[in-house]
Amino acid sequence: MNKRFVNPFIGGMIVIFILSIVHLMIDNPILLAERFFPGFGGWIEILLIAFYAGFIIDRMTQGRNISYWRRFTWSLFTIVFFSQLFLGLLGYERFLMTGNLHLPIPAMIIGGSIYKLKIGFMPILFLSTIVISGPAWCSQLCYFGAMDLQISKGGKKPRKVKHKTALKMTFLLLVIAGALILRLFDIDYVVSAWAGGVFGLAGIGIILLISRKKRMMYHCTVYCPIGTITQYLKFINPFRMIIEPNACTLCMHCKPHCKYDALHTIDIKNGKPGISCTYCGDCVSSCDTNAIKYKLFNLQDQRAQNAWIIISIALHAIFLALGRI
């Protein structure tokens, strides 16, 4: 096999393997095409999604504008997710995963679990992505993140966030404490849902106002409690992003490319991005001396980067096929 097609082939096979298991094990059709074309639609969709994953992996592992393709795939997932939700709300139930609606707000992954005292599908899915891909949830998989990325993009230099750690922990504790209070006082589910909705709407306001102004993903980096959890739990995954001090010239060309407030001078001198880094890779191609690199055990730098791309894009493609309410 041509070496160029090894990475796309591996990614495509991962997608086929995972989606085939899901398709065969769940009685109620979870793949959208199977609901419209029973008996063969699901298999066709699996092949198409695998081909799509392979195509994106080929583009990204060949170094063809990695940042562009990450934005494209992330935005595509968000558009597909909310389009299916909208169609489901209009009464087309086949576009809903189960027919049981819940608020599509990231904070509800932790808040809902605490309120119900139950670990459901979404917390398990979220934690699984951290084990498999580290912080890819915050750079490729969350539907709110794509909105934050699009709003914050621009040529201006991102503004540094003051008191970032204190703010992150405050919002995280606010969600945990709020869910506990609602649970302890046996507050009605409808009221609790409204509380979650208000938190989500506030997040959208932050994206539209603060992220745009600061040219930085303020919602994902500071406000979102799931983002905070991801930032600290990502180290259970073996992938790392490093900055080689001997190669780095402190030119700071990388800083404008980081929307996660993770590339300040102190971070670069320490040889690694800040805690809010999501390994998105936007900074890698901006480094003229190739000082910023992916690290995975003893693999060569390019192989480590390719492994990250294969895993994150395979997960993205699987989410694209399964990501519905």
Residue 169 pLDDT class (50, 70, 90 cuts): very high
Rounded to the nearest integer, the mean pLDDT of the chain is 90
Q: What is the pLDDT of residue 101?
A: 53
Residue 1 pLDDT class (50, 70, 90 cuts): low
Torsion angle in degrees (nearest 10) through CA of 33, 39, 40, 45: 30
Tell me the C-alpha distance between 68 and 60, whole Å. Answer: 9
pLDDT tens-place string over residues 205-221: 999 999 998 889 999 99
Query: Using an 8 Å Cβ cutoff, are 135 and 234 in contact?
Result: yes
- Residue 219 burial (C-beta neighbours within 10 Å; 0-12, 13-18, 19+): buried
Q: What is the pLDDT of residue 104?
A: 79
Tell me the C-alpha distance between 108 and 105, whole Å. Answer: 6
SS3 content of the chain, % helix, strand, coil (to 5): 65, 0, 30
Task: Give residue limits of the domains in the chain.
Answer: 1-90+298-325
Q: What is the CA radius of gyration of the chain?
A: 20
Buried b (16+ CB within 10 A) or exposed e, 4-13: eeebbbbbbe
Q: What is the pLDDT of residue 214?
A: 87
